[in-house]
Every structure is written in C-alpha cells, then in structure tokens.
Amino acid sequence: MINLSAMLEKNCTKSAVLFNSKKRILEYIAELAHQQLPEMSEYSILEALMTREKLGSTGIGGGIAIPHGKLDCVTSPILIFVVSQDPIPFDAIDNQGVDIFCAILIPKDQCQAHLTTLSGIAKLLTQKDLTKKIRHASSDQELYQLLMDYSQQTGEK
C-alpha cells in the first residue's frame, strides 16, 4: 500500500496543463518538484528524470507515464501529479500520447521503497474509473481531492 497523503502536496497536483513535448512536461514537473525540494535545482531534478527516460520511456500505456528519478536530498518519496489537457508524444510502450503524468522522486539509497512506490502508483493508475475521473477533473483542487478521496476509500491513505 502507498500513502498518497504523505507523498502528494496540493501545489504539486495540476490539472489541464498545456504542453506539447516530452521535454517541456518534464521541465514543468521539475519546476513543481523544486517547490518541494528548494535545496535542489530544477536542473538537477530534470536531469534525474531525463537520465531515467534515456533508459527507456516511463510511458506505461493507456495515456499514462510514471517518470521517476532518484535524488540524494530526498528523504521520502515525493509525487508530482500532472494531467495534460491534450495527450503528449512520450514514446510510451503503446505508441499513444500521454496525458496523465505521475512523477516520483525517490531517495537514492532506498531501492525497495522505489520499487514499492512505483508498483503502487502503477496499480492505482490501472483503475479505469479513477483514470477517467482524473482526466475530467476541472481544477487542481478537484484533482487533488479526487486522489485523496480515492486513496482513503481503498485504504491506501
């Protein structure tokens, strides 16, 4: 089980953003992450995300991507949840555009936490009723509340 409320802040939950490239959405995610990690530069965060993308796309199909990176200064996993108004080409495994991005920043030395968090997020995002609601959230607040409510209903905190 993953604890969404411990990993996700309201200001890192964005709905209906307008970007048209993989690089630009990752830059935006790095900007949001920098708010949670002011001691890290946006460039360092972006570099961690891009390093992982070079190994293979984190686009898991169905319009969903889980970009992630390991950072020294992170003490516990941090989520950044962004929904694009239009799908973005992201080299996903199904060759479809991506509109749901759940980025995860993980402590560099916590491999098991990394795998557990990735698995939990992937499981969460396979819930078709949830992804439909995520795509239709009309505001950042609605998206954040939806995620918090869903995790409480399913016991994932």
- Provide the annotated active-site residues: 68
Between strands 78-88 and 98-107, the pairing is antiparallel
β-strands 98-107, 64-65 pairing: parallel
Contact 67, 29 (CB under 8 A): yes
What's the full length of the chain, in residues?
157
Q: How far apart are CA 110 and CA 27, in angstroms?
A: 24
